[in-house]
């Protein structure tokens, strides 16, 4: 059984109750194959950790940015606590090598679902830290591992969604408001796939795909930001 020694070192703390940390790493699928495992799955810890993360990030932003409007603070908080950010934190801490997954889930190569599992595991770990060592330890962990990314988020304006960021840069750099056009629609009404083009004036910059027009536009904008080096 994984001793979790290296993970605790990466987290920067040692658990009094190792079972709490172990439970934070147990995906529901694992228990289908190991019903007698010593802990339950991590979803209740995730529920708790989500609330702890939100209050600590909110408090930090409230106290440190007293002149910033609520709307901006909301966007900054969302950028700090979203699944993409939490996945990157999980990758930095090497959480994946400690996950308890079913054989089928472990073999699944779907990046999107694995990213969500890892993001959820970070929330569960936060819940476990809170239960094991209290609010100060959870605050220290969140400040060091998550809030520390705020400067980069503000510098890159990554708190804006890709469409907003691309539009802002396009107007700054080219004086043009981008627009999107549907190139292709496939599939039945209840499960359509859309391909859209992102244009600056008449020039197509990139395309994006998704199960909705909005999703396809967001993907196109994200690809456009990379292509234009914005």
Catalytic residue among 36, 59, 108, 123: 123
- Three-state DSSP string of the chain: CCCCHHHHHHHCCCCCCHHHHHHHCECHHHHHHCCCCCCCCCHHHHHHHHHHHHHHHHHHHHHHCCCCCHHHHHHHHHHHHCHHHHHHHHHHCCCHHHCECCHHHHHCCCHHHHHHHHHHHHHHHHHHHHHHHHHHHHHHHHHHHCHHHHHHHHHHCCCCCHHHHHHHHHHHHCCCCCEEEEEEEECCHHHCEEEEEEEECCEEEEEEEECCHHHHHHHHHHHHHHHCCC
70 is catalytic: no
Q: Which of 33, 36, 43, 50 is catalytic?
A: 50
Between the CA atoms of 79, 80, 84 and 90, what dihedral angle is there, to the nearest 10 degrees? 170
- Tell me whether residue 123 is one of the annotated catalytic residues: yes
Residues known to be catalytic: 50, 123
């Amino acid at each position: 059984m994984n001793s979790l020694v290296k993970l605790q070192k990466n987290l920067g703390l040692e658990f009094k109750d190792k079972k709490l940390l172990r439970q934070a790493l147990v995906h529901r699928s694992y228990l289908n194959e190991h019903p007698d495992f010593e802990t339950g799955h991590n979803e209740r810890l995730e529920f708790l950790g989500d609330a702890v993360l939100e209050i600590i990030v909110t408090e930090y932003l409230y106290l440190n940015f007293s002149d910033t409007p609520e709307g901006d603070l909301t966007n900054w908080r969302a950028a700090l606590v979203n699944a993409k950010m939490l996945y990157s934190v999980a990758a930095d801490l090497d959480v994946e090598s400690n996950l308890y997954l079913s054989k089928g889930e472990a073999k699944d190569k779907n990046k999107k679902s694995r990213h969500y599992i890892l993001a959820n595991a970070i929330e569960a770990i936060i819940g476990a830290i809170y239960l094991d060592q209290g609010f100060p330890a959870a605050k220290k962990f969140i400040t060091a591992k998550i809030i520390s990314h705020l400067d980069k988020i503000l510098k890159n304006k990554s708190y804006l969604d890709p469409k907003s960021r691309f539009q802002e840069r396009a107007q700054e750099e080219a004086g043009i408001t981008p627009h999107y056009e549907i190139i292709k629609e496939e599939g039945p009404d209840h499960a359509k796939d859309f391909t859209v083009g992102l244009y600056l004036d008449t020039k197509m910059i990139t395309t994006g795909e998704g199960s909705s027009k909005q999703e396809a536009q967001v993907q196109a904008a994200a690809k456009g930001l990379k292509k234009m080096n914005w």
